[in-house]
Structure 1
Amino acid sequence: MADELELLRGADPVPPHGSRFGDGPLDREAERRLERLLRERPSGRPTRRMLPVPGRPRLPVPGRSRLAWGLAATAVVAALAVTLVLSGPSTTPAVAAPRPLVVQTGSTPVPLDRLADRAEQAAADGSPRLRKGTHVLSWSMGMSDDKPPVTLPEERIVRWRADGSHTELVVATDPRHPGRPVLSDEGGEPRLVDDGHVLSDRTYPPSWSDAPPQSPPPDDPARLRAYLTEAQYTDAPLTTSELLDAVAVLLDHWTLGARETATLARLLAGAEGLRPAGQVTDRLGRRGQAYVHDGSGVRHMLILDPVTGAVLGLETTFTTAEPEYGVKKGDVMSYSAWTR
C-alpha cells in the first residue's frame, strides 16, 4: 500500500507543498502533469478519447487515432447506429465512412521544400494573421468487435473573445451529402439527426494558459518543433507520425497566419519519410498537394494549399486490415478539414 500511496503523491499535479492552493489555478507544470494523467492508462498507453476540459476547446485524441468512441462503448453505439442506418430510407450515404482521397493520375508532385519556399513568399506581407480559434470539419470512425464500424461527421467552430473567454459550436453535418440525416452521439445516445443539428453551443469562461497548444505558436521552425513536442506532453523527439498528430492538435486550437504557415511548411519539409504524392481534391472541393507518410499500420495524407502552404486537411487510413473490428485495409480512420 505504501508504494501505491507514494505513486499517487508523486502524480499529484498540486502537491501540498506547492506554490498554489489546492483549489486555485494550476501552474504550467501542474497543467502538463494533469494532462498526462488524463491521457494515459495505467499501462502507459494513450486512451482512445479525452474528456472535454472546461475553459478550453475540446482536445483531440492523441496518436491521431481520434475515434468517436472508446472500444468498450462502441459496441452499443455501433449496434444501434447500424440499426438506424439500415432501417431509415436513403440514410446510408450520410453516415458511411468516406472513401480515401485519390491522388490525381499524372499530376506532378511538388517537393515540400519548394512548397515551403512558396509559403515564405506568400507570407511576405504578413497577412493573413494568426487567430486563436478554429473551424474544422471532421469524420471519425467508431469501431466495435462485433458490429461494422460507423462514422460520426461533425463541424466545430471555436471563437475566442478579448476577455479570454471563448465559444464552441458543434453541429452534426456531412458536407458530402447536404440535407441528409447524419449520425450523432449527442448525450451518449446515438441516433440519426437532421443535417446541421446543433450538438452543443457553449461559452467558456476566461482562460489564459501559457502552455502549448494554448499559447501562440512561434514563427521559427526549431522553436515550433519544441512547441509541438510540448503540446503532445512528451519530452521525447517526435516521430513524423507524431509530428503530424501534433499539427492536427495545433490546428484544432489556432487558425495560422501567413508567417506561422510558412514556418510549419519549413518544419514539415524536414520531416523524415513525408513524401510528395501529387494533386488531390479534398472533401470540401479544394485542390491541394498531397504528402504521405506510412507509419505503424496507418497512412497519413497531409493536404496543403499549393500556393500558400496552408494545411487544408489530414487523412488517416488503415494500411492493414483489422478483421476483429470490421476494418479493411484502406478504410479511413479519421479526416479533418480546416478552413478560415
Structure 2
Amino acid sequence: MADELELLRRANPVPSGDPRFHDRPLDQHAERRLNHLLHGRRPRRLRRLAWSIGTAAAVGAVVVTLTLSGSTTAPAVAAPRALVVEAGSTPVPLDRLADRAAESDSSLRLLQGTHVQTWNMSMTSGPGARPPVTLPEERVVRWKADGSHTELVVATDPRHPGKPVITDADPVPRTVEDGHVLSRQTYPPSWSDAPPKAEPPHDAERMRAYLEEIDLIEAMDTPQLLDAVAQLLDNWTLGTRENASLVRVLADAKGLRPAGAVTDRLGRKGQAYVYDDKAHFVRRMLILDPATGAVLGLEDTVTKADPEFGVKVGDVMSYSAWMR
C-alpha cells in the first residue's frame, strides 16, 4: 500500500471550477508540476511549463536574477543549439523500431536508479532582465539491496570540459568549477507501490497503464506521455524487455512522428521522433537508440518567441540525456 505522502500526492484538492482562479484554473500539466515543486526535486521542465501557463505566481517561482562570481574564466553559459536531423537519413517508424527492440540480442537488465545529464534554461523578465542562461547538471542515483539509495548531483557540461559552470542550486545563480558537487545525499530504506517508484512492467499493455498512473489526472495525451516517460527514466534504467514495451506504447502516440537519424549531445547515434506541442509553443524531440529502442534523450525547443523572457524561436528550453 502506498504511504501517506504518495496518497496525498495523488489527491487533487482544487476543483477546476474554483472561483479563486480569476483567469483560469491550472491545467493538468501545471497541477502536476506544482505538486512536484512542493514535494520533491525541482522538475526538469518546470521553467518552461510555468512560462507557458502565464500565471504571475508560477512565473515568480521560477524567475531568478543571475549573479556571477568567483571566476575570471568565461563560464559555459551558451545555450545548446537544437539538435538537427541528418539530411537524407531514413526515418524509422516506431512500430518497426519496437520490433527491432524486441528482437535485440541485448541482455540489458532493469536497474533501479538513473544516470542523467540535463540542460535547463533559466530566465528573468522585466526591466533590466538578463539574457537566458543554461544550467547544466549531471545526476546519478543508485539503489542498494537494503532499499536505501544515494543521489549525487554535480555541475558539469560535457560540451565545455574544464570550464566554469553556472548553477542556481543555492538558489542564487553563480559560477562553480566543472564537476563541482552540488549535493551528495544518502536516503534510508524506502518502498512504494506507486509509479514511478514501483518496478516498471515489461509488456506494452501494463507499461501503458503504468505511465498513465504517473500522470494521475486524466486520459494521457502525447505531451503527458512524454512527461511520464521522463519521470520513469529519472527513477529507472530500463532493460531490454522494458525498452521494447515502452517503444510499443510510443508507437501509438498521436502526433509523434519519425524524423530521421540524429547524433545526441553525448555523441550517440539515434533516431529522432518529433511532437509539436502547439499548446505550449514547444517542439519536443525524443531520441531512441536505433538498435535497442532505449531512450537516449528528450529535447524541448521554443517555437514562438517571447521577448519578455528573451527567448527566441529555436532556443532549447530543456534537454535530458539518459545513460546506463
Contact residue 3 and residue 192 of structure 2 kept, 8 A: no
Of residues 158, 163, 167 in structure 2, which corresponds to 1:184?
A: 167
Q: Does the 8 Å CA contact 2:155/2:166 hold for their aligned counterparts?
A: yes
2:282 maps to what in 1? 298
> Could you tell me how far apart the structure 1 residues matched to 2:42 and 2:265 are?
23
Q: Name the SS for the 1:229 alignment partner.
A: helix
The aligned runs of 1:97-116 (5 Å cut-off) are 97-116=79-98
- Given residue 164 of structure 1, which amino acid in structure 2 is its aligned partner? G
The 3 A distance-change label for structure 1 pair 182 and 62 is closer
Residues 174, 256 of structure 1: alpha-carbon distance in 2 compared, 3 angstrom cutoff: same
C-alpha distance in structure 2 between counterparts of 1:76 and 1:174, whole Å:
21
Aligned AA (2:143)? W
Report the 3-state secondary structure (helix = DSSP H, G, I; strand = E; otherwise coil) of the residue aligned with 2:320. Answer: strand
2:294 is equivalent to residue 325 of structure 1: no
Instruction: Give ranges in structure 1 of 5+ residues lacking alignment.
Output: 1-19
Kept in 2: contact 1:66–1:334 (CA 8 A):
no
Shift of 1:77: 2.8
Q: Quick one: which amino acid aligns to residue 32 of structure 1?
A: R
- State the shift of 1:109 in Å: 0.9
Q: Give the TM-score normalised by structure 2.
A: 0.85
Corresponding position of 1:129:
109
Q: CA RMSD in A?
A: 2.8
Query: Is contact 2:148-2:187 (8 Å) kept?
Result: yes
Partner amino acid for 1:128?
Answer: L
Contact map agreement 2:153 2:183 (CA 8 A) in 1: yes
Q: Does 1:238 align with 2:211?
A: no
- Distance in 2 of aligned mates of 1:228 and 1:64: 23
In structure 1, give the amino acid aligned to 2:245.
T
Letter in 2 for 1:144: T
SS of the aligned residue for 2:189 comes to: coil
Alpha-carbon spacing, 1:27–1:324, altered in 2? closer, same or farther (3 Å)? closer
Q: 1:305 to 1:25 in 2, by over 3 A?
A: closer
Q: Contact 2:223 / 2:277 at 8 angstroms: preserved in 1?
A: yes
**How far off is 1:76 after superposition?**
3.9
Q: Give the conservation status (yes or no) of the 8 Å contact 2:85–2:260.
A: yes
Gaps of 5+ in 2: 52-57
- Identity across matched positions, percent: 60
One-letter code aligned to 1:142: S
Q: How much has 1:184 moved relative to structure 2?
A: 1.1
1:248 aligns with 2:230: yes
1:337 is paired with a residue of what secondary structure?
strand
Corresponding residue for 1:280? 262
Partner of 2:170, secondary structure, is helix
| Residue in 2 that maps onto 1:172 | 155
- Paired with 1:67 and 1:30, the residues of 2 have a C-alpha distance of 22
TM-score, structure 1 normalization: 0.81
Aligned counterparts, 1:1-340, within 5 A: 25-26=3-4, 29-33=7-11, 43-45=25-27, 46=30, 50-51=36-37, 53=39, 58=41, 60=43, 65=48, 71-72=59-60, 74-78=62-66, 80-81=67-68, 88-91=72-75, 94-122=76-104, 127-146=107-126, 147=129, 148-234=131-217, 236-296=218-278, 297-340=281-324
Q: 1:180 to 1:289 in 2, by over 3 A?
A: same
SS at match of 2:100: helix
Partners of 1:104 and 1:323 in 2: how far apart? 31
Over alpha carbons, which structure has the higher Rg?
1
Q: How many residue pairs end up in the alignment?
A: 302
